[in-house]
Amino acid sequence: MEHLENLQLELGMKESSLSSQGSSLNDQSQLVFHHPWSRNVIKALHQVFRLPEFRANQLEAIDAALQGRDVFVLMPTGGGKSLCYQLPAIIQQQDRQCVTVVVSPLLSLMLDQVSQLVQSRGIPAAFWNGEVPRQQKNWIKNELLSAQPTMRLLYTTPESLHHSSDLKSILQSLHIRRLLARFVVDEAHCVSKWGHDFRPEYASLGQLKDQFYAVPWMALTATAPPRVQEDIVNVLNMQNCLVLKQSFRRVNLKFQVVEKESFKDGYREDLVQFVLQHRHQCGIVYCVTTKDCETLFKELSTRHVSCDRYHGKMTSRQRFNVQQKWQKDQLKVVVATIAFGMGIDKPNVRFVIHDSLPGNVEGYYQEIGRAGRDGQPSVCRLYYSYKDTRVHRILIAGQNSVSLRQEGTRHLNDMVRYCERMQCRQHFLMGYFGETDFDPSQCDRQCDRCSLSPTPYHRHLHQQSQIQGLVDFLNAYPRNKFTLNQLLEIFQGSRSKAYVEKGYDRATGFGSLSYLSKSHKERLLVHLILLGVLKEEAHKNRSRYANAYVSLGPKAFQLGSLAWPLQVNILTYTHSNDANAAINPTTGPTPHDITLPTTASHSRQQPLPPTAPNSTPPRKRLVLNKQCYAALCNKRDELNRQYGQSTYFSDALLKKLAKKLPTSHAEFFKVCNTMSDDDLRNFGVHFLEICKQHHA
Ligand SMILES: Nc1ncnc2c1ncn2[C@@H]1O[C@H](COP(=O)(O)OP(=O)(O)OP(=O)(O)O)[C@@H](O)[C@H]1O
């Protein structure tokens, strides 16, 4: 409490007393003292948020907010959106301390944000939602109805804003007394029905604009393509809005899509091997179903990976504990459904794996955005099979309105497009988010398609007449339902009894693709689905079991409008169950990225064979480097835990040590030449010992 009072005293200081502090503020602050509040803003940045300087667009958003303008902030995940509204919330405006109302979609998100504000920053904040006990609500009510409320931020849900008469009367009272600073809509993409996470209650937030006349708004999101951006501004009825956009590009992420079908023995072993090879690093593995989470969690646990799972069938206490442990690095890997991660701010997530196809690009980009928030290289790997669309199609079919079903299908097809893509994946992602001027030559081998050793493929051309045959076949049976697999069999020319009885073997198009391999046929049909010649939708069959069926799409009767011949690319796989070679194809293997043989025995640390350095075969040397790096990371984590702080031994430095494997103090100091003597004395000895043990 004393902390809070001090803070308020400090921030309530008069301009004259603050001006004397000018000389101690850094260069950035000298440039921005354009407004009466500028000194307080810089002071809050340094003293309350303990940050040295602003990131791109933060100051612009804060200034616009304090000017009373509506602001729309589009910043990549981890870009620092919270500061844009948390900082102005503690700045006095016209000699008054006002209250900022933040609308947030998740209760856990509110809890995190509020406890961080109160505990780490000493900023008075609270949340109000359906789960808050009456007693606490009464306390909030008394506080906000008092003559001079001390609370700076109130987090709430759109439901409470609409339905809680108590909350409404509190806000009205604040408004009348001119104590309402602004409304903030976090995760603003939920407002738009074109977005991937539309929430109808969000859409009616715009009505508040009339009720709370002249109160400014701020909307923030990390994932909104142009159509969604426009929609947010319209739906929220934002006036003369300052739009602050930033590139969506994340330069430290590697984008990989691994085809599940490329593994003879199933892709799961490859996924497990990937995690084993990175098991000393923090990561997330996203699964679509709870069952998959459980299975994979068991598999990884039995292979000694420090992991846990997180999904909707666990209690909120269990989920909270898993998240806490992971955030404190007491647990390396979380196997989770997409319920995990929103609002999580963990800097050192080195990999995000998707065990299955996500349902849309926006959600996917948000999920992988949890990797590498510290700017260090991190891998985003997606295991893809077109078959994984089925579960999404069934979910889409459950939507009530036609437009939601259409949107869901469009989103899913975009995700498939991303996975099927032969060219730069980043180009696709940037274009998707409206950065159409991104040149693939700028990709800098961030994606597997632009890496030095992209997966080779064969180009196949298909003429219109051939595709016409497939259209004619489906046109002849408008009432019949065909799964993708059945069509593959029919176009192969399968004479199974069911097909012959229905006369399919006499229809146009039957067997017309028999000369193509099964995977080629499948690719062609997927291609036609993406073009709109075919469409795939889920329906319930007679036994009320939902399945996905293929029928003619809108483009089936406009084949002439497509570009002919159609090009279909078929990948030629070079790996069986070892896709990890692609982790860092640009820089060659580093200890961090080295590919190990996929047998389980290599995944554990082995006793090291005593051989002379020069005689060590390169492959074996790489294994030693890799093992050494893992041991160094372990030691660093152990020291961090012991001393409750970060040692200065970064991942990059440990990699360098594992590569050089110094055996003497002199060699060690050469590698760590930027370290302070103290750090070397205190911690270096532990690391040198490990390097010596691994020196072959
Ligand atoms: N100016 C800054 N300088 C350094 N770090 C900053 C700055 N602003 C914010 N950060 C840090 O960046 C991290 C991410 O910030 P924040 O949680 O606000 O991101 P976000 O944009 O809301 O991300 P997400 O979309 O994932 O929720 C936090 O640890 C925060 O302290």
**pLDDT over 70, % of the chain:** 85
Banded model confidence at residue 679, pLDDT cuts 50, 70, 90: low
Lowest mean pLDDT among 9-18, 288-297, 418-427, 610-619: 9-18
- Which architecture characterizes domain 253-452 according to CATH? 3-Layer(aba) Sandwich (3.40)
Give Cα 140 distance to the centre of its chain: 34
Asked whether the domain spanning 253-452 has the same topology as the one spanning 31-245, the reply is yes
Question: How many residues does the structure list for the chain?
Answer: 696
In this structure, which residue's CA is closest to atom 24 in ligand 1?
A: 77
pLDDT of residue 678: 57
Q: CATH fold of 31-245, please?
A: Rossmann fold (3.40.50)
pLDDT of residue 18: 28
**Mean pLDDT in residue range 270-289:** 95
pLDDT of residue 215: 95
82 lines ligand 1 (CB under 6 A): yes
Backbone torsions φ then ψ of 184, nearest 5 degrees: -120, 130
Angle 74-336-285 from CA coordinates, rounded to 5°: 80
Q: Are strands 71-74 and 457-462 parallel, antiparallel or unpaired?
A: unpaired
- The domains of the chain are located at 31-245, 253-452, 460-573, 619-694
pLDDT of residue 73: 97
Identify the burial level of 266 via C-beta atoms within 10 angstroms of its C-beta, where 0-12 means exposed, 13-18 middle and 19 or more buried: exposed
Lowest mean pLDDT among 133-142, 187-196, 211-220, 642-651: 642-651
What's the pLDDT tens digit per position in 535-574?
Answer: 999 987 777 778 899 999 999 999 999 988 888 888 776 5
CATH of the structural domain 460-573, one choice from 3.10.20.30, 1.10.10.10, 3.30.70.20, 3.30.980.20: 1.10.10.10
619-694 belongs to which homologous superfamily?
A: HRDC domain (1.10.150.80)
> Mutate which of 48, 49, 50, 51 to test ligand 1's pocket (most atoms within 8 Å of Cβ)?
51
Two structure tokens written together for 320: 């909270």
pLDDT of residue 689: 83
C-alpha to C-alpha distance for 278 and 596, rounded to whole angstroms: 11
What's the pLDDT tens digit per position in 650-662?
Answer: 777 888 888 888 8
Q: Cis (ω within 30 of 0) for the bond into 565?
A: yes
- Model confidence at 582: pLDDT above 80: no
For the chain, the straight-line distance linking the first and the last C-alpha, in angstroms and rounded, comes to 58
Residue 482 carries which DSSP code? B
How many whole angstroms from 81 Cα to the centroid of ligand 1?
6
Lowest mean pLDDT among 273-287, 317-331, 448-462: 448-462
pLDDT of residue 108: 75
Banded model confidence at residue 587, pLDDT cuts 50, 70, 90: very low
C-alpha to C-alpha distance for 195 and 222, rounded to whole angstroms: 12
> Mutate which of 83, 114, 342 to test ligand 1's pocket (most atoms within 8 Å of Cβ)?
83
Kindly give the number of the ligand 1 atom that is closest to the alpha carbon of 77: 25
Among candidate residues 99, 66, 108, the one with its CA nearest the CA of residue 84: 66
What's the pLDDT tens digit per position in 605-650?
Answer: 333 333 333 445 677 778 788 888 888 887 777 776 665 444 567 7
C-alpha to C-alpha distance for 295 and 300, rounded to whole angstroms: 9
Residue 377 carries which DSSP code? -
Of the two residues 150 and 695, the one the predictor is more confident about is: 150
Q: Which amino acid appears at position 424 of this protein?
A: C
Kindly give the number of the ligand 1 atom that is closest to the alpha carbon of 345: 17
Banded model confidence at residue 421, pLDDT cuts 50, 70, 90: very high
How many whole angstroms from 78 Cα to the centroid of ligand 1?
5
User: Mean pLDDT in the chain?
Assistant: 84
Kindly give the number of the ligand 1 atom that is closest to the alpha carbon of 54: 1
Banded model confidence at residue 461, pLDDT cuts 50, 70, 90: confident
pLDDT of residue 524: 95
105 lines ligand 1 (CB under 6 A): no
C-alpha to C-alpha distance for 370 and 344, rounded to whole angstroms: 8
What's the pLDDT tens digit per position in 329-361?
Answer: 999 999 999 988 877 789 999 999 999 999 999
Of the two residues 272 and 517, the one the predictor is more confident about is: 272
